[in-house]
Amino acid sequence: MYTKQGFSNLPICMAKTQYSFSHVPSMKGAPTDFVLPIRDVRASIGAGFIYPLVGTMSTMPGLPTRPCFYEIDIDTATGKVMGLS
């Protein structure tokens, strides 16, 4: 699907356990002879990469067009933080 859309040259970014090249933390180091269970493949075209979802890994939601942190400020006279509610 991504090849048809012209995104076949994007790099792959994959999150997994930090303990193993596999998806199983108990398979320490660089194990061999395992099957990596990729349950879906998604693309972050704006960021410029494709990412497989492996095992039970979940993703975080993206930010809105204008993130809320733009509305947070500090009143330097009182030290009060504004825009958090």
What does the block give as tokens for 60? 């975080």
0.95 surpassed by pTM: no
pLDDT at residue 81, rounded to an integer: 95
Check: CB of residue 6 under 8 Å from CB of residue 46: no
pLDDT at residue 82, rounded to an integer: 94
Check: CB of residue 14 under 8 Å from CB of residue 52: yes
pLDDT at residue 39, rounded to an integer: 87
- Closest to 58 measured CA to CA, from 76, 73, 39: 39
pLDDT at residue 53, rounded to an integer: 86
pLDDT by 10s per residue, the chain, length 85: 788 888 889 999 887 777 777 877 788 888 888 888 888 999 988 889 999 888 777 777 777 778 888 999 999 999 999 998 7
Domains and CATH numbers, the chain: 1-85 (3.10.410.10)
